[in-house]
Amino acid sequence: MNKLLLSASVALGATTSLSFAQQTEKPNFLLFIADDCSHYDLGCYGSVDSKTPNIDRFATQGVRFTQAYQAVPMSSPTRHNLYTGVWPVRSGAYPNHTCANEGTLSVVHHLQPLGYKVALIGKSHIAPKSVFPFDLYVPPLKGGDLNFEAIQKFISGCKAKGEPFCLFVASNQPHTPWNKGDASQFNADKLTLPPM
């Protein structure tokens, strides 16, 4: 009797879990990546000088990486590591400007079978395409600026079709040279320099 009751409970639990999982909306993922941008550069991580109200507001509505560390302080290996979850020396993407080994699986391979549209808009610096078969890749505009129209179109298109999405927005803007924006917003004598 107890075995029958236990079996019925497990079966009911599995059925309930399955129907709940089928009814639950899948979360969307939006990940911002910025070259040479550290926690010292954003208000949501405690910067007293940086003016990042939109990022700060966005951070309160999502998840911040507060214990994330990168294995290699270089652009291409960092991106390969982030998109594959594999150490760059194991995936073949080390040193800088190298490619992952054929057969390496990326986040794209894991999310597409779950019905996600996966896109990269901005700086790529990853290869080969077989390891990173994004549904959409839009390179930066001339001068390295992000294509905000493409970002909006991708998100709107997924929402209109009811498709969950994972969007990587990869900016090159904080990368040197630092000649973007209005320098008059900051008084150099009053800036707080990060510890060295």
Q: 14: exposed, middle or buried (C-beta count within 10 Å: 0-12, 13-18, 19+)?
A: exposed
In the chain, beta strands by DSSP E: 29-34, 117-122, 136-138, 165-171
CA distances from 126 to 11, 49, 82 (A): 45, 33, 11
Per-residue model confidence as pLDDT tens digits over 118-176: 999 999 999 999 999 999 999 999 888 899 999 999 999 999 999 999 999 999 887 76
Region 17-37: mean pLDDT is: 75
Domains, in order of start, for the chain:
27-176 (3.40.720.10)
Per-residue model confidence as pLDDT tens digits over 41-71: 899 999 888 889 999 998 999 888 888 888 8
